Amino acid sequence: MDRRTACLNQANASREKAIADPEHHDQWIDEAIEWLEQAMEAGRCAVTTVEADDPPPAPEPVGTAASETFASPWRVIARQ
């Protein structure tokens, strides 16, 4: 089992403990969050954020009629 999967399993176990132990719910959720953060680091996944700048009501055509492509109002930001 790789480190990312092990961290995800630990996060799931912490969430289950939060459900089973309402008295310490917040503590178990905090621990689950820490495990999820470690899983993200272990996976070295790129994080993609999409931001909208007041999108137009309809997309505007770009290029030739045969291409059928449209300009996107969305801006994609990838972080790694």
* Chain segment 16-61, per-residue pLDDT in tens: 999 999 999 999 999 999 999 999 888 775 455 556 666 555 655 5
Residue with tokens 């994609």: 76
**pTM higher than the cut 0.75:** no
| 5 in Cβ contact with 19 (< 8 Å) | no
**What domain range is 34 assigned to?**
3-79
State the total domains in the chain: 1
Distance CA 45, CA 62 (A): 32
Task: Tell me the H-state helices in 1-80.
Answer: 3-20, 25-43
Q: If you search the block for the tokens 């289950």, which residue do you land on?
A: 16
